[in-house]
């Protein structure tokens, strides 16, 4: 078990504030005329930032190395947010992204 997985399983995720990063939320609100594309969120944790990108119209893939984080992200993402997916693994070994 990785250190990251252990911390998620123990609930020791003090970096998780339960919501998307305020700076990202502000940027998306201030730039609502932005073009959309495909976004990667490395180290997505429970997926708060990934969901914010998806709700703004982007196609999003969130990656994390901890299975518990990916499971939590999937569980917290409504089915209506179909443009957000979560994957376990190394994001450097996958497809190209726009941002």
Domain locations in the chain as residue ranges? 3-10+35-93
State which fold the 3-10+35-93 domain adopts: Rossmann fold (3.40.50)
* Per-residue buried b or exposed e for 10-31, using 16+ beta carbons within 10 Å of the residue's own CB: eeebeeeeeebeeeebeebeee
pLDDT of residue 29: 94
Instruction: Report the residue count for the chain.
Output: 99
At residue 95 the predicted structure's pLDDT band, cuts being 50, 70 and 90, is: low
Q: Whole-model pTM?
A: 0.87
Model pLDDT for residues 16-65, shown as the tens digit of each residue: 999 999 999 999 999 988 888 999 999 999 999 999 999 999 999 999 99
Instruction: Report whether pLDDT(70) > 70.
Output: yes
* DSSP β-bridge partners for residue 62: 41, 86
pLDDT of residue 16: 93
7 versus 93: the higher-pLDDT residue is 7
């Amino acid at each position: 078990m990785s250190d990251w997985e252990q911390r998620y399983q123990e609930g020791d995720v003090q970096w998780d504030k339960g919501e998307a990063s305020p700076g990202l939320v502000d940027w998306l609100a201030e730039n609502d005329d932005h073009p959309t594309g495909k976004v990667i969120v490395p180290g997505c944790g429970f997926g708060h930032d990934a969901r914010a990108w998806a709700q703004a119209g982007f196609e999003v893939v969130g990656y994390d190395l901890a299975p518990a984080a990916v499971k939590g992200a999937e569980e917290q993402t409504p089915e209506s947010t179909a443009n957000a997916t979560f994957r376990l693994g190394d994001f450097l070994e996958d497809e190209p992204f726009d941002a």
